[in-house]
Amino acid sequence: MKNVLQKRARLAGLFVGVSLSAAGFGQQAGPLYLDPAQPVEARVEDLLKRLTLEEKVSLVHANSKFNSGGIPRLGVPELRMSDGPHGVREEIERDTWKPAGRTDDFASYLPVGMALAATWNTDLARIFGETLGREALARGKDVMLGPGLNIMRTPLCGRNFEYFGEDPFLTGRMGVAYIRGMQSQDAAACVKHFAANNQEWQRGSINVEMDERALREIYLPAFKAAVKEAGALTVMGAYNRFRGAHCCNNDVLLNTVLKGEWGFKGLVMSDWNGTHDTRESVFGGLDLEMGTNKPTGEFYMAEPFLEGLRKGEYPDSILDDKVRRNLHVLFTLKAVDGKKAGSMNTAENQNAARRTAEEGMVLLKNEGNTLPLKTEEIRTLAVIGGNATRKFARGGGSSGIKAFYEITPLEGIVQRVGAKVNVVYSEGYTPTGQGFPRINPAGMPPGTSGGTSGGTSGPQRTGPPGMGPEGTTLSWGGLQEAGPQKDSTLVERAVQAAEKADAVIVIAGLNHGRFLDAEGVDRRDMKLPYGQDELISRVAQANPRTAVVIVSGAPVEMDAWLDRVPAVLQAWYAGMEGGNALARILFGDVNPSGKLPCTFPARLEDSPAHALGAYPGKDGTVRYDEGLLVGYRWFDAKSIEPLFPFGHGLSYAGFAYSKLRLVRGNGNSGPLVEIRFEMENTGKTEGGETAQVYVQDMQSSLPRPVKELKGFQKVFLKPGEKTAVSIPLDRTAFSFFDPEKGGWLAEKGDFHIMIGSSSRDIRLQEKFKLRESCFETEGRKTIKAK
Ligand code: BGC
């Protein structure tokens, strides 16, 4: 330890004449802030007082595309950041968006957020975070720009694939585990995009209006858990506005809620080019300005801030607070002390990718045990569909990765079946559109055709990373737009291949092309592009033994063919091991155990924001008229049958639930109630099942959703095996946000506790009486309400 310390201090040229007995270094004492044995806050204070005004200001804005300023004079390194949520991004030049052209910037491509959420496995989320953390370190990064914890409000949001679905509780649990895993490696998570960033359309300017309960109960809880439970070190403000003010300088969100109520100690950075004004940013809670499309010195929180400070327009204390937060992150990450080495693309990291892919795939339908396929029954297997051979790592926008490798579905299948089965591939359709949609930040309004300009409203006129000035595009992959066009010759060829085969697998879905699963734009509808509906229908007609695999980051419409197809598997974007994982599921080496983290509506109009015409907003504002009724909460309230409900996912095994018992706790030192029951694997295959606990408030002073997810547990059982499950519920499982009282109220009375295999497949239920009401203000301790 002493050696490392001395080396670093020597590098910084610090040993001349500095003596500090408190550091306990013996004779060669260095400054306290360089002593790893000192508490972080003491180190922060010690360094703070050594900084000049100019140095302080240099810490609160970027000095390259992905680095914040360091203080070379004092041996303080830059904070090095990288996208993103499912892998460490390719290196770009320091001051441009051009790839740096290096050969050492590959990374493991893990499954996307929606796939991870579909595992419902918090242990795996922790492993996922650890894996990213190890790779971040190996690539010399301090902060990873993820996870994205925005709630899926509409199936159309272009970035749904990066997020964890529609439910705040699931998003929170998975997010907390991911962040803990990542930060255990001394890599900081950056939870984004705070907050209410639920569409890409006009993302740079759209103003979001929603009621307080929707904010507190739906859109904030996952962020709150990330901060309060996982100790997320950094938070990224969103591009959009919330109640009038941009989220990167939103006093309510950043000062009142995040830093005030939740006690956040870390730093708030802007989304790239999400800063708009010096004064608003300084007072609005921003601690680090990133990605502004200006020369560094002209950043809002660079020279203009310094000048303001010199003129006395801003108190020094406000700068000191921002600097403290930046230094807090730096020291907590051991950025000054020397960090672990990390690792890239190891067997451990590959396993994490494969397990997540396997556990995240969701078996939506499986009539007549069509799946798993048995190689001994198949001589010729037709694999059909453009997504069978497509790679996805680089796509989607800022989350794109230069992957070490990526096993496509076709490669995975061919490798799995070996010489035993003759695999015939037929493309069926040609996907167009790849890469990042380089358009203005506001995105294109749904319903308009291609083009690279227009669609902007609101004050923001320059774009996020890689985007040129308004209306121009830069070169990062093709820009073709996905259309409904089909190629009849390809369809005919696919039908012929299907006719001659013993079984067919169609690998269909979306891709990261423009207006599909892509940053900066939303989808325009929920349909499969390129005439895939017709392709699937025709293929299924030609061969009834057809299984459809959907590769997408969000729900797609299946009405046109679902009845004709016996098996459907939702595979998401499954990362570099995706093809192997898929093959292992299709051929039964792995039993599917994923569950949907979002409702799959039969048609877009069934989902709340669309039913109410509350998307994409008018005149620069989108009003969340559905309030609390997001996702299954809406489908339940309106008794709408979804195509596949939230929490749905089949297995090759079967699971029986029995013997529900509610064991009351005291609620102070432990849970209010333990939900205990038994689960048994009644099938012939080993498998995993996620038991879901939903809570319904039987009477309450304010309207509440019909039921809400408040607990879950994934268990793995051998055939015939039985296990006892216990899921604790605390007060938060019963409470709602009371806007008048400004806090969380659990009202005494009856609640229904429902245990389900999905939100629409409730297996056990029991009444629970809450004997005493309980009220808790944000950030303060519980007060009993009499
Ligand atoms: C995205 C962020 C990303 C940042 C840096 C922005 O466009 O919204 O999610 O981390 O760019 O690439």
Q: Tell me, letter by letter, the H, E, C secondary structure of 126-144.
A: HHHHHHHHHHHHHCCCCEE
- Quote the CA–CA distance of 553 and 150 in Å, as a whole number: 14
**Ligand 1 centre and the CA of 396: distance in Å?**
11
Q: What percent of the chain has pLDDT over 90?
A: 86
Whether 21 has a pLDDT exceeding 90, the answer reads no
Whether pLDDT at 338 is above 70: yes
248-272: average pLDDT: 97
- One-letter amino acid of 608: P
| Sign of the Cα pseudo-torsion (198, 201, 203, 207, in order) | negative
84: Cβ below 6 Å to ligand 1? yes
Among 678, 681, 677, 702, CA closest to 753: 677
* pLDDT over 70 percentage in the chain: 88
Check if the beta carbon of residue 274 is closer than 8 Å to that of residue 239. Answer: yes
Closest ligand 1 atom number to CA of residue 66 = 5
Distance CA 624, CA 617 (A): 9
Atom 7 of ligand 1 has which residue's CA nearest to it? 464
Atom of ligand 1 nearest to the CA of 146: 10
Calpha distance 278→271 (Å, rounded): 15
The CB of 464 under 6 Å from ligand 1? The reply is: yes
Q: What is the pLDDT of residues 74-112, one digit of tens each?
A: 999 999 999 999 999 999 999 999 999 999 999 999 999
673-681, strands of its sheet edge to edge: 655-664, 673-681, 722-729
Q: What spacing in Å lies between the alpha carbon of 629 and ligand 1's midpoint?
A: 28
Tell me which of 83, 271, 522, 533 is the catalytic residue.
Answer: 271
- pLDDT tens figures, 540-583: 999 999 999 999 999 999 999 999 999 999 999 999 999 999 99
Q: DSSP secondary-structure letter at 264?
A: -
| pLDDT level of residue 485 (50, 70, 90 thresholds) | low
In sequence order, what are the residues at sequence separation of 6 or more whose Cβ sits closer than 8 angstroms to the Cβ of residue 27? none
What average pLDDT does this structure show over 342-349?
97
Q: What is the pLDDT of residues 184-234, one digit of tens each?
A: 999 999 999 999 999 999 999 999 999 999 999 999 999 999 999 999 999
Residues in the chain: 786
Confidence band (pLDDT; 50, 70, 90) for 444? Answer: very low
Q: Confirm or reject: Cβ of 272 under 6 Å from ligand 1.
A: yes
If you average pLDDT over residues 280-289, what whole number do you get? 98
The answer, yes or no, to whether residue 521 has pLDDT greater than 90, is yes
pLDDT single digits (tens) 617-672 = 999 999 999 999 999 999 999 999 999 999 999 999 999 999 999 999 976 777 99
Phi, then psi, of 282 in degrees rounded to 5? -60, -45
For ligand 1, atom 6, name the residue with the nearest CA. Answer: 272
Please indicate whether residue 271 is annotated as part of the active site: yes
Q: What is the pLDDT of residue 431?
A: 79
The Å distance, Cα 342 to ligand 1 centre, comes to: 24
> Ligand 1 in contact with 144 (CB < 6 A)?
no
Beta bridge partners, 503, equal: 381
Q: Rounded CA gap, 205 and 273, in Å? A: 12
CA distance from start to end of the chain = 56
Q: Which atom of ligand 1 is nearest to the CA of 441?
A: 7
Rounded distance from Cα 147 to ligand 1 centre (Å): 11
Confidence category of residue 443, pLDDT binned at 50, 70, 90: very low
Mutate to test the pocket of ligand 1, among 96, 144, 236, 271 (most ligand atoms within 8 A of CB): 271
Could you tell me the distance, in angstroms and rounded to a whole number, from the CA of residue 617 to the centre of ligand 1? 23
What average pLDDT does range 468-473 have in this prediction? Answer: 29
Q: Is the Cβ atom of 398 under 6 angstroms away from ligand 1? A: yes
> Count of CB atoms within 10 A of residue 783's CB?
12
Residue 611 φ/ψ, nearest 5 degrees: -60, -35
CB under 8 Å, gap of 24 or more: what pairs does 291-296 form?
291/62, 291/65, 291/464, 291/465, 292/61, 292/62, 293/462, 293/463, 293/469, 296/61, 296/62, 296/63, 296/64
Which of ligand 1's atoms lies nearest the C-alpha of 520? 7
* 352 pLDDT above the threshold of 70: yes
Mean pLDDT of the chain: 90
Three-state secondary-structure class, residue 725: strand
Q: Report the pLDDT averaged over residues 751-768.
A: 98
Which is more confident, 3 or 742? 742
Nearest to 335 by CA among 51, 44, 53, 108: 44
Amino acid at 459: P
pLDDT at 482: 53
For residues 214 and 221, give the distance between their C-alpha atoms in angstroms, rounded to a whole number. Answer: 10
User: For 24-52, what is each residue's pLDDT tens digit?
Assistant: 444 457 999 999 999 999 999 999 999 99
pLDDT score at 487: 81
> Tens digit of pLDDT for each residue in 368-405?
999 999 999 999 999 999 999 999 999 999 999 999 99
Task: Kindly tell me if the per-residue pLDDT of 291 is higher than 70.
Answer: yes
Residue nearest to atom 12 of ligand 1 (CA): 398
Q: Give me the pLDDT at residue 400, please.
A: 97
Out of 385-399, 434-448, 515-529, pick the least confident: 434-448
Q: What H or E segment, with its residue span, contains residue 179? A: helix 168-183
Separation between Cα atoms, residue 275 and residue 114, nearest integer Å: 28
Q: Is 756 in the pocket of ligand 1 (CB under 6 A)?
A: no
